[in-house]
Amino acid sequence: MEIRPLKPGSLIAVVDDEESVCRALERLLRSVGFDVETFASGAAFLESRARWRADCVVLDVHLPGLSGCDVQAHLGEAAQDVPVVMITGRDSDEMREQAFAAGAAAYLRKPVDDQTLLSTLAAAIAGSKKSHGPARG
């Protein structure tokens, strides 16, 4: 299955404190045409311009300082309609439920299968209000 961004310049923000994960995801996402910005902490992402421009956020659950769920909550409080794909190396039913309750578009375990991630991102972006532009009425 070939995945291409739904629109030229689709930006994916990757937030993970593991440098090797950021590098691998950046390489994968760029290989199919996404623009990518990586961040080693939730605070760094929330302070960046990418917070407002991202078409989707790939967000590690366990981060130093602000957790992935904390970051997701900040996005929700700011009424930012950006889909969030949570990823984790330490899966639990409680964390999964918390992520979905906070509005995560998906919750994936590391190591993340490339095709699963690409399909998940395409679906999350396609389902986002941001990808459809402002509502008209």
CA 127 from centroid of its chain's CA atoms: 14
Would 111 be classed as within a structural domain?
yes
Distances (CA, A) of 135 to 54, 67, 126, 130, 132: 19, 32, 15, 10, 8
Would 3 be classed as within a structural domain?
no
Total domains in the chain come to 1
Distances (CA, A) of 120 to 49, 58, 77, 106, 112: 24, 10, 24, 7, 11
pLDDT of residue 136: 27
* Residue range of the domain that includes 100: 11-126
pLDDT of residue 81: 81
pLDDT of residue 2: 56
Would 92 be classed as within a structural domain?
yes
Q: The domain that contains 18 carries what CATH number?
A: 3.40.50.2300
CA distance linking residue 16 with residue 22, whole number of Å: 6
**pTM score, two decimals?**
0.87
pLDDT band for 137, please (50, 70, 90 cuts): very low
Would 1 be classed as within a structural domain?
no
Give yes or no for residue 131 having a pLDDT over 80. Answer: no
Cβ 69 vs Cβ 102: under 8 Å: yes
